[in-house]
Structure 1
């Protein structure tokens, strides 16, 4: 089951929309790719120009720019935003500082101007690293500003060998000054607009929590006999103006702002209440509900007490509540994780590991954690019949789960051939569009009656 923190990544294949968070991410991705292409092209042009004049020190810098552009482009394609941004801004700072010192030394006729580009670079860093730790976001910007002050207040340069003629630099100072300030203003405008968008989303999310505008959808989980054994809970936001919103339109922002905690608490409360309503119903009493727990929610010191209080308050069978963890969560604090999981397992709560094989967990993690279920990620299921590596991974995960006494469930099952392959290799539980899409509670109840009645 996708975690609350990973809903955005997982549902983009299934839901389409122009949410504010994804618009910003796509815009940043396009800007990085465009910047990398500009770096490659400019590096090639200037490299050819200066190599024809024998300025090999500058040619080396141009080669560095080209390689940096290629690296940024490749990392952006692989969605490694932090690494791409670090290389991009490192290269930009190198270009500006080296060009200022080597090509643009101050004289009585022509002052320095290239260092002015450090101002828009500083603003760009605030945007690119906005979701990173504060030391990185503000550290990069402050570093650019300190370099700007140092270059503006100093006439030092290592050599005049590569300095452009004054008549070129006089015109260039005006051109570069206007260009740098225009870029500075443009980035400030984008930063302000982005801040306003995030503030609007933040305000709407807080209202949604206060007014309980969220709804839960149920995606059926079936066993090999075709009976419904439970469901995965997926959250939706019934926005008063924008309609029903998928998790990808707000969960990432909720994670970054901490609003994921009250949202997660609401999901757990609704889950327990539904299990209580089903408790005495012979058709629904044996069904389990799976809820994923975000890292911030799980790290709360009161988490165990809240779950146990929820179970006691609603009088539900703890075995019907399944908490799903993602691989990225279990590598942060194994001692705290193990302690909390053990305390809850002793009271009957079940745990499953989502996204297995896509994160950072190891066999040592599986050995230490009291897990009852492994969930094979949909990325392996989608091409299990055509890709030998995916087939091997799926077979291995199923065998591993069986050997460790865990149930194995496959998500993203979309064809009968996939389901048959999984069943033939020992997988006993299935979830996916072939079996049932996420649906409102009323539709899920009808679905259960049709399959289990």
Structure 2
């Protein structure tokens, strides 16, 4: 399974960090605004209001989950402000150098970290512009003809405060870069080797109706290391995310899934099955994801209506509008979408009406306690009511006991996935369970998988 919980926590952590940085920048710029205003420098105070406003706009953007737009606004507004302030106010005087330009290498470092997260020419342009501007402003006494130098008594404070702040942020950026490049490198290197050597496989967990008739499956990624044995997705998926490998891993999963659909199309007993595939936020938000998927569908010549992409709300890190547009374009190809882990996020109801999803998956954390927890039971009923009102299907994940099944049936849920109906299994075993099914026990006769496993 493409790691979902780890990605959700990562997105939340990134949002909190960027919120803190935005407020810190706003506070620092506001401090200088007050200093300049008190000392009778209204033009400088007005100039310092620019980063205050920009930082507050950035805080609002990141709070809404518009991280890509946040980075664009933050980096270019900061770059423009630093260059303009150095040319207009922070000019060399009486042998004392300018100091505001010391933030430019910090900006370049942060742009590089963002480039590692999602490579783009825009980030490379910010890096290049920051470094070139730093060298030029440091080496040359450039200033506008109408420049108004900072008073020497205030400039002395800036010579201490600005370098101290720039050094502090730069140290934080180095720490972030060190964590990003060092921790997951070993397992990520092994993961790339696993892709080359065929160590990654897909397991298929049945999705069934109440009688156990198989309607489809969810493809779950598995890694059997030659020396370490099976490695949990909870271990290697975060490493792949950290090293930017999820588009590569995700494309491999899609290729394997489409090969499976080709097999099923050729068999009348399997041709009606639907296959669900998890797509991570970093893979979905790649600029070429739509093109890549379109090319794969053409290459394998599969019926796209048999493929369902499972997404979590973490895809909205790129913003609601671009995600909705990409989903609409893919839906036009015949693909359908499932909203995974529904009910666990903070904004599900706010964006559900905008995204062209066909299915909600009730998270296993709710299903696990519906039989003995009134609050979770009420949440599941609410999810079913929402799905019914919007004309969406629901799939209950993690169904393990007859009591859970009985409750879910009573709420109107018709598709189930969990150990009660089948564990994840190799492709051959899954296909055999469909074409030559074993006699199914009734729900009341099925033992709990926890007891059966013991």
TM-score normalized with structure 1 length: 0.65
- SS of 2:96's equivalent? coil
Distance 1:69 1:201, change over 3 A: farther
Instruction: Judge conservation of contact 1:261–1:296 (CA < 8 Å) in 2.
Output: no
Task: Give the CA deviation at 1:387.
Answer: 10
**What does 1:147-158 align with in structure 2 at a 5 Å threshold?**
147-152=133-138, 153-157=140-144
Pair 1:266-2:290 in alignment: no
Name the residue aligned to 2:93: 107
Task: Give the CA deviation at 1:244.
Answer: 1.6
Pair 1:306-2:294 in alignment: no
Name the residue aligned to 1:395: 388
Name the residue aligned to 1:312: none
- SS of 2:306's equivalent? strand
Q: Counterparts of 1:80 and 1:335 in 2: how far apart (Å)?
A: 21
Name the residue aligned to 2:102: 116
Q: Counterparts of 1:53 and 1:418 in 2: how far apart (Å)?
A: 70
Distance 1:40 1:432, change over 3 A: farther
Name the residue aligned to 1:163: 150
Kindly tell me the number of residue pairs found equivalent between the two proteins.
392
**What does 1:404-423 align with in structure 2 at a 5 Å threshold?**
408-412=393-397, 419-420=408-409, 422-423=411-412
**What does 1:233-248 align with in structure 2 at a 5 Å threshold?**
233-239=219-225, 241=228, 243-246=231-234, 248=237
Instruction: Judge conservation of contact 1:116–1:177 (CA < 8 Å) in 2.
Output: yes
Task: Give the CA deviation at 1:138.
Answer: 0.7
Instruction: Judge conservation of contact 2:82–2:101 (CA < 8 Å) in 1.
Output: yes
Name the residue aligned to 2:275: 290
Task: Give the CA deviation at 1:106.
Answer: 1.0
Distance 1:301 1:123, change over 3 A: same
Task: Give the CA deviation at 1:110.
Answer: 0.8
Task: Give the CA deviation at 1:220.
Answer: 3.4
Q: Counterparts of 1:223 and 1:387 in 2: how far apart (Å)?
A: 18
Q: Counterparts of 1:353 and 1:376 in 2: how far apart (Å)?
A: 9
Name the residue aligned to 1:139: 125
Distance 1:289 1:334, change over 3 A: closer
Which digits, 9 at most, give the CA deviation of each residue in 1:384-434, with x for residues without a partner? Answer: 945999666412332xx6xxxxxx3434487669734651xxx6424468x
Task: Give the CA deviation at 1:121.
Answer: 0.8
Instruction: Judge conservation of contact 2:99–2:163 (CA < 8 Å) in 1.
Output: yes
Which digits, 9 at most, give the CA deviation of each residue in 1:219-265, with x for residues without a partner? Answer: 33232445444421211334555932237436656766534333433
Distance 1:118 1:249, change over 3 A: same
Task: Give the CA deviation at 1:32.
Answer: 1.9
Backbone CA RMSD of aligned residues: 5.0
Name the residue aligned to 2:449: none
- SS of 1:233's equivalent? strand
Where does structure 1 lack aligned partners over 5 or more consecutive residues?
17-21, 309-317, 342-350, 367-373, 402-407
Instruction: Judge conservation of contact 1:214–1:238 (CA < 8 Å) in 2.
Output: yes
Pair 1:46-2:32 in alignment: yes
